[in-house]
Structure 1
Amino acid sequence: METQIYHKNRIFADEKTGLTTEQALVRKAAGLYNEQVKGAEKTAAEIIKSNVFTYFNLVFFVLALCVALVGSYNDLTFFPVIVINTVIGIYQEIRSKKTLEKLTILSAPKATVVRDGKECEVAVSSLVRDDIVVFSAGSQICADATVISGTASLNEALVTGENIEIKKEIGSSLLSGSFVVSGKVYARLDNVGKNSFVSRLTLEAKKKNNNKKSEMMNALDNLVKWIGILIIPIGFLMLFNQICILHTDYKTAVVSTVGALVGMIPEGLYLLTTAALVVSVMRLAKRKTLVHEMGCIEALARVNVLCVDKTGTITEDKMEFSDLCVLDEDTGREKTEKILCDFCNAADGDNATINTLKEHFEGADGLGKKAEKVFAFSSEKKYSAVNFDDKTSYILGAPEIIMGDNYSALAEKINEYHGSRVLLFAEHLGEFDGENITDEIVPLSLVVISNKIRKNAPDTFRFFKSQGVKIKVISGDNPKTVSEVAKSAGIDGAEDYVDSRELENDADFASAVSLYTVFGRVTPEKKRRLIIALKENGNTVAMTGDGVNDVLALKEADCSIAMASGSDVASQVSQLVLLNSDFGALPSVVKEGRRVINNIERTAALFLVKNIFSFFFALISIIFAINYPVMPSQLTLVSTTTIGIPAFFLALLPNNDLVKGKFMRNVIYKAFPAGFTNIFLVSYLCILAGYANIGFDEMSSMVTIVLGVVGLTMLYRVCKPFNKFRKILWGAMVTAFFAAALLFPKMFTLSPLSVYEVLLLILFVALVQPFMYLVVNILEFFEKKLKKAKSKKA
């Protein structure tokens, strides 16, 4: 019998037949398929353009042109470095783009569609208009649709911002971007691809795309912005000072000014940070971890609280039927099992518990009861219910919810099943309306479901404990049950648990996150509020989840981590997705985050030494009307051996320390002693050179050696604690610096020195270590004073 109706280019198939393959192909050829709105990722051409046509590349080009025009080609050694940096940046970004594209294809969302009278799984992008799609708990609505069969509860918080469950029945519209909380429906797709609601929102959002950047990237952006503004007036003032006041020749004035400006620009630091993050994304990709937002790597490195769910994280995804404890002797075990069998057959397979019971009762005979009304499980209500045609109603769910004030009568019996999920199966006397449990409840049995502890869970939690990361278990289950499971998994403080229904206001949540480790009976909204409370207590919070009830909390966390085996929506809203769905892989992911951020912070201090010296000495040269003492080629020698090469290798080394403090403050704190040492010693050297009538070229050469020794001393501090590799690296840079200075003096504009000048240089070189040590100790002294003052105020 023909079940399809054609109207205004629509095909109205029913849920049993769906479209034919031929009809789907025709619709796809006509452009009526669910083409996914492309992400904000750059194309290869855009990557090249964004790396080449930057403000600082323009500045470097102008500076190189100025040096070339005055004929000082030896001082163009800085320009090839910029070209190489740009090429590396392009290569790394394109390589990362290709890697992520491959992973995205592997983890592309799927949908169950009815085609040729059969249900099959296809990629979401292969769906066409008028396809009949099956949506069940955990599914995200992938295109605008209309329900043609079944009922379900949907949460449209992702698209409307309202965290309420909306019941959907035949004829109801489904908004793309919302997700199914419970129930199961067959729906006909109306608007697909770019015409769907969520795609239109996405396209609109792209017009004003302001991705939230990490604290580190914001700090670097601000640094680059201010330096980019300041170098222009400083450059003009330096030229004016040297040409009009000091009457320096044009060639020396231009080259000297270019040397100062090149030293001020932190181009290497910004590139190092971007490249290191890109490499980190690629390394995580090899470990089957998909990174949606590169900035989350910094948040991951700073995490000191990790929130986890019980099922799927501490325990395995697979649930097992464990026991049936009969409570009503009049009904008896046999009849209770038969009624429960009818209940499970009537209920939609809308959650893991029902599916576990369906599997257990597969092939068993019930009493033959026919369902009249089915109320799907709700994460808010914590139960499901069925009204049968014989006017009986039954409820299955959380005992404390169903029993209310009478729960204490069952508490002792329930507590016997430590670590298992215990549900109450009860008869509701009087027809149930799906909203309020008002009539008398007759408890029939306790249904015991168990999950095995993941084999690697205890080792994983031991790792986090050793790293100073606190674990918070947030679950919708009974808090006592969750506590027992958490104890078995070795979670520190698992005996401290609370029922989240006791938490009502912000003060309750703020207090609870400090006192408790385990939170039970947590609704999706309360999960979100717990994350907010943890963040307001000054923590950096990571959240792992795999279900639709985790979505709100995942979006609120500083770093959200989803299991690919979980719901589509959880994977799509999370910043990181574990494609193997292995919680045990998380320590290696955290280590990678810490490695890259700690190493960036460590090596950033090397770059900032040069920037601090160049900026402040440029101001000194303007204020006191003296020549800037460093040429671009000399700065290239210092930068390459004390910053560029070592920074590249140091950024790749293991470093699992917890990241603390503000990025820029930490970097400036580490860089200041060396930067101040440079300013003080070079200023004093310039003054002595003036009194001793030492020529500018000779003085410039002496300053270069002093800067190099300060840089190598700073590198020595950064390399601590030494291992074999760091010893070799530091020794190689010392050798490279002095070998280049002695063997290629003309390349780096270094002049021969007299015996007197050599002795004076040795004196200043000898002062580097003790002076820097003095500055470090002064800083530490004031830091301790500041900490004491803060502790007294607290």
Structure 2
Amino acid sequence: MTEQGSKLFGLTSAEVAERVADGRVNHDTDVKTKSIWQILAAHAFTLFNGVNLAMALFISFTGQYRNLFFLFIVGANLVIGVFQEIRAKHMVDKLSIMTQKQVAVIREGAEVAIAPSELVIDDLMRLSHGDQVPADSEVVSGNVYCDESLLTGESVPVAKAPGSELFSGSFIESGSLVARVTKVGRDGYAAKINAEAKYVKDVKSEILATLKAIIRLGTMVLVPLGIGLFVRTILMDGSTVNEAILSTTSAVLGMIPQGLVLLTSSVLAIATTRLGSRGVLVQQSYCVETLARVDTLCLDKTGTITSGEMEVAHVSCAPGSTDAEAVAAFAAIAAANASDANETAKALLAFAGDCEGLRAEGTGKKDPEPQIARAVAFSSARKYSGCVLADGRSLVMGAAQFVLGESRTPEADALCGGFEDIERRMVVCECDGFTDDDGIVGEPLLIACVGIRDKIRDSAPETMSYFIDQGVELRVISGDDPRTVSAIARLAGVPRADLMVDASTLDTPQKLEEAAAKYRVFGRVTPQQKRELVCALHRLGRTVAMTGDGVNDVLALREADCSVSMASGSAAARNVSEIVLADNDFSHMPEVVAEGRRSINNLQRSASLFLVKTVFTAVLALICIILPPYPFIPIQMSLISTTVIGIPSFVLALEPNKERVSGNFLANVLSRSLPASCSIIVFLLLELVLGRLLGHDFDEISTVCMIITIVVGLALIFRISQPLTALRRALIVSMAALAVVACTVFGSFFLVVALPADVAVATAVFCVLAVMLFDRLSARFERNADSNRLLIAAAEKIESGVPVPRAALPRDERKRG
């Protein structure tokens, strides 16, 4: 790099080529999304798919291809999962491209625009207002203010002068400069934090964990059961190899809930599609469930509670000045520097425009645009800006100590007596003029004080109120001064916002864990402390959601149970988050929670239908090793799955449901499914024993068992559909009609035979008794579940100090005293 005279020359082509050859290029600065092949592999190579593929190969050996119908379910599940993740990947990649901007560099004395990834060590970058710093660098010339909130979480602009260090990921808020690149690629500040945040994070989902556990358990059980059933059937029952294979695969497939896996994928895919239409990008579909279960929400101040913009909160006029004069003065200064307007200038221009609009409504006249003779740009060294009007008046605006001097600062402080702590205070003055190097001439005459603050999102109070009503505790975590964060949190409606702490004092793990339980507002928090706070909340038994948009939030986002970022934030934050708010509007969060509740509550209800088959099939397979034959073949299990499981579960899973998600997913499902499973097992066993004693053939036993199973399944649909609606009545009638048509018109396809009169009567009696047993068991399970819910609710009230009346306790507990 050379410098000719006073002109910056930059690197030569040869020097650039040398650095590229050495690998000193700004590559690999962001966390990358998974490739399409990685996505395909993650969804294809699973235990679930492996088991089903093995069963398909066995059935293919028999030549009975109609029994391969279950592969459509497996294929549909694979397609939905892959499509959803590839769609999310493309959306995130598109956001990254849209937010990437070329950078101006000086090479061989000329200014050229290149991609940030083409920067090399010692490149001279020219950056100005609004530009993001693409690589760590050192200021060569110019004075600016930098916004480092994406890195540190602190929204106060930082002054940068020649010799200062610029961090990649920060923004130039005002001014312009030339900086020399000092670090590239993974050596940069932002890239080092990114390196700790991998795109792939563990999915934290009760439903997914339950599905995996069922598949693992089923796989472990099906091997010995399958072998035992196959050997028993072929050696001791006189069946052919093909018959033994079909009988065994039918039992094995019944133990693996293919339909439940597909239903879960479908319901979550529909939820993510609905949310996508509202500007919410869901990258990991299972996070919809997690967010529905969240009891603690950690909020980043900047970009979540505040919009990232500034607004004028107060204007206080000095004696002898009017509001109109004050607004006109700072509007003129802001307009003079509009070409390099920072957030402060934008707020002043917007406020002046609103005031002018109000005056125009009242008088019907619009104020003329101020005529500017000279603009005095803001400088981080001077800490003020100003202008000279065409009529000769000179105006200046900035911090009181730099405009008025230390001796007159108390005068401005007195004028700002009604301002809040969160407001940035500036004075507007008239002076005699400016020197050639923009120094103030004469003693400034104070016109007014202006209070500017971070703009709180209009929807923030309503959003906070929603989460409070849902019993979700709110924590605000920021790199700003805790007093400032507390004041903003209070205005946004965060409860107990006065419980604040300076995280720089939390120098031991014990202090941090105690603070996580006690405080609601955390200031001066480092990126590592944000992650440690989330971990501390986990140790307290909390389910934590985290919002953030900066590199400083990445570590905590990765650790949270559910992470949410803004599209306007850093690429690293977007990539590591399960949910991205494409329009940067946090008010969508209640919609996400509501969609999650609808999906999860309905899934819990529908999943009980699937686990009925899983439980009774596994027990029946064990029974049939001792008492053959196994009464079903795969095509019959497909009919049962369709009429009393697949279609009903899908319809019920898409209904509106706003109830709070409570309890364990598996426990809730089993409390509904076990009564039906027990009833089916009892009467299928009875049929197997009586059928064998009375000399019924296999087709008759199979037909009776299928009818009993379908009737009890319809009874379960009726019970979980309470209260009945027109749709639910139509569903029950339609499924009963479908079963009748399948068993009569298409009886030969499903190997259903006409029953003798005595067997038909016995079957009807069995069905009535099975339904009665199911009703008795269900009532008992529901009473136990209600008692548990009352106990949990009472315990929560006692823990929070609320007295619990005796009548609110379960009856058994009241008897115990």
With structure 2 as the length reference, what TM-score do the two structures score?
0.71
Distance of 1:565 and 1:57 partners within structure 2? 38
Distance of 2:51 and 2:772 partners within structure 1? 37
Distance of 2:304 and 2:196 partners within structure 1? 36
Q: Which amino acid aligns with 1:63?
A: M
Alignment of 1:83 with 2:58, yes or no, is no
- Does the C-alpha gap of structure 1 residues 744 and 306 become closer, same or farther in structure 2, counting only changes over 3 Å? same
Q: Which amino acid aligns with 2:766?
A: F
Distance of 1:118 and 1:721 partners within structure 2? 76
- Does the C-alpha gap of structure 1 residues 315 and 94 become closer, same or farther in structure 2, counting only changes over 3 Å? closer
- In structure 1, which of residues 652, 666, 674 is the aligned counterpart of residue 668 of structure 2? 666
Give, in angstroms, the shift of residue 659 of structure 1.
1.9
- In structure 2, which of residues 48, 51, 55 is the aligned counterpart of residue 63 of structure 1? 55
Alignment of 1:294 with 2:294, yes or no, is no
Distance of 1:588 and 1:174 partners within structure 2? 39
Give, in angstroms, the shift of residue 749 of structure 1.
1.6
Contact 2:124 2:181 in 1 (8 A): yes
Distance of 1:539 and 1:175 partners within structure 2? 34
Q: Which of 684-693 and 526-535 deviates more?
A: 526-535
Give the equivalent residue in structure 2 for 1:650.
652
Alignment of 1:575 with 2:578, yes or no, is yes
Distance of 1:456 and 1:198 partners within structure 2? 31
Distance of 2:454 and 2:158 partners within structure 1? 30
- Does the C-alpha gap of structure 1 residues 744 and 293 become closer, same or farther in structure 2, counting only changes over 3 Å? closer
1:114-148 alpha-carbon deviations (Å, 9 max, x no partner): 368999999766877736264889x8764454544
Give, in angstroms, the shift of residue 739 of structure 1.
1.0
Alignment of 1:6 with 2:8, yes or no, is no
Give, in angstroms, the shift of residue 287 of structure 1.
1.8
Correspondences of 1:375-774 after superposition (within 5 Å): 413-414=417-418, 421-423=422-424, 447-449=450-452, 456=459, 460=463, 463-464=466-467, 467-469=470-472, 478=484, 481-482=487-488, 485-486=491-492, 491=493, 494=495, 496-501=496-501, 505=511, 506-513=513-520, 519=521, 538-545=541-548, 554=557, 557-565=560-568, 571=574, 574-622=577-625, 624-774=626-776
Give, in angstroms, the shift of residue 457 of structure 1.
5.1
- Does the C-alpha gap of structure 1 residues 662 and 393 become closer, same or farther in structure 2, counting only changes over 3 Å? farther
Contact 1:338 1:367 in 2 (8 A): no
Q: Secondary structure at the match of 2:70?
A: helix
Alignment of 1:268 with 2:274, yes or no, is no
Give the equivalent residue in structure 1 for 2:811.
none
- Does the C-alpha gap of structure 1 residues 244 and 226 become closer, same or farther in structure 2, counting only changes over 3 Å? same
Contact 2:502 2:524 in 1 (8 A): no
Q: Which of 141-150 and 727-736 deviates more?
A: 141-150
Distance of 1:155 and 1:591 partners within structure 2? 35
Give the equivalent residue in structure 2 for 1:19.
none
Distance of 1:301 and 1:119 partners within structure 2? 52
Alignment of 1:232 with 2:223, yes or no, is yes
With structure 1 as the length reference, what TM-score do the two structures score?
0.73
Give the equivalent residue in structure 2 for 1:223.
214
1:318-355 alpha-carbon deviations (Å, 9 max, x no partner): 433343558999xxxx99x9999999999xx9985586
Q: Which of 257-266 and 455-464 deviates more?
A: 455-464
- Does the C-alpha gap of structure 1 residues 423 and 520 become closer, same or farther in structure 2, counting only changes over 3 Å? farther
Q: Which amino acid aligns with 2:90?
A: E
1:396-415 alpha-carbon deviations (Å, 9 max, x no partner): 9xx9xxx9xxxxx999x44x
Give, in angstroms, the shift of residue 783 of structure 1.
4.0
- Does the C-alpha gap of structure 1 residues 711 and 109 become closer, same or farther in structure 2, counting only changes over 3 Å? same
Q: Which amino acid aligns with 1:113?
A: V
Contact 2:145 2:380 in 1 (8 A): no
Distance of 2:375 and 2:164 partners within structure 1? 34
- Does the C-alpha gap of structure 1 residues 570 and 634 become closer, same or farther in structure 2, counting only changes over 3 Å? closer
- In structure 2, which of residues 100, 103, 126 is the aligned counterpart of residue 113 of structure 1? 103
Distance of 1:484 and 1:61 partners within structure 2? 57
- Does the C-alpha gap of structure 1 residues 385 and 690 become closer, same or farther in structure 2, counting only changes over 3 Å? farther
Distance of 1:121 and 1:563 partners within structure 2? 28
Give, in angstroms, the shift of residue 96 of structure 1.
5.5
Distance of 1:327 and 1:692 partners within structure 2? 106
Distance of 1:36 and 1:539 partners within structure 2? 33
1:223-254 alpha-carbon deviations (Å, 9 max, x no partner): 22232233222211112222334444434332
Contact 1:158 1:178 in 2 (8 A): yes
Q: Secondary structure at the match of 2:713?
A: helix
- Does the C-alpha gap of structure 1 residues 570 and 233 become closer, same or farther in structure 2, counting only changes over 3 Å? closer
Distance of 2:557 and 2:408 partners within structure 1? 34
Distance of 1:510 and 1:390 partners within structure 2? 46
Distance of 1:201 and 1:548 partners within structure 2? 7
Q: Secondary structure at the match of 2:11?
A: strand
Distance of 1:573 and 1:375 partners within structure 2? 38
Contact 1:246 1:625 in 2 (8 A): no
1:716-770 alpha-carbon deviations (Å, 9 max, x no partner): 3333343333332332222111211111112112122111111111112112332
Q: Secondary structure at the match of 2:285?
A: coil
- Does the C-alpha gap of structure 1 residues 657 and 352 become closer, same or farther in structure 2, counting only changes over 3 Å? farther
Q: Secondary structure at the match of 1:592?
A: helix
Give the equivalent residue in structure 2 for 1:17.
none
- Does the C-alpha gap of structure 1 residues 373 and 198 become closer, same or farther in structure 2, counting only changes over 3 Å? closer
Give the equivalent residue in structure 2 for 1:281.
272
**Unaligned ranges ≥5, structure 1:** 12-22, 377-383, 404-408, 427-442, 514-518
Contact 2:80 2:266 in 1 (8 A): no
Distance of 1:267 and 1:607 partners within structure 2? 9
Q: Which amino acid aligns with 1:83?
A: F
Distance of 1:529 and 1:445 partners within structure 2? 45
Q: Secondary structure at the match of 1:3?
A: strand
Q: Which amino acid aligns with 1:262?
A: L
Q: Secondary structure at the match of 2:498?
A: strand
Distance of 1:93 and 1:648 partners within structure 2? 20
- Does the C-alpha gap of structure 1 residues 354 and 704 become closer, same or farther in structure 2, counting only changes over 3 Å? same
RMSD (CA atoms)? 5.6
Contact 2:547 2:557 in 1 (8 A): yes
Distance of 1:328 and 1:536 partners within structure 2? 58
1:583-632 alpha-carbon deviations (Å, 9 max, x no partner): 3333323222223333333322222111111112212223x343222221
- Does the C-alpha gap of structure 1 residues 394 and 537 become closer, same or farther in structure 2, counting only changes over 3 Å? farther
Q: Secondary structure at the match of 2:631?
A: coil
Give, in angstroms, the shift of residue 41 of structure 1.
3.0
Q: Which amino acid aligns with 1:6?
A: L
1:69-127 alpha-carbon deviations (Å, 9 max, x no partner): 445x2xx4341331354046326633662465146414632347336899999976687
Distance of 1:263 and 1:654 partners within structure 2? 30
Contact 1:245 1:625 in 2 (8 A): no
Give the equivalent residue in structure 2 for 1:39.
32
Distance of 1:523 and 1:354 partners within structure 2? 28
Residue correspondences, number = 721
1:638-669 alpha-carbon deviations (Å, 9 max, x no partner): 01112222333333333332222232232223
Q: Which amino acid aligns with 1:498?
A: D
Distance of 2:641 and 2:770 partners within structure 1? 18
- Does the C-alpha gap of structure 1 residues 7 and 68 become closer, same or farther in structure 2, counting only changes over 3 Å? closer
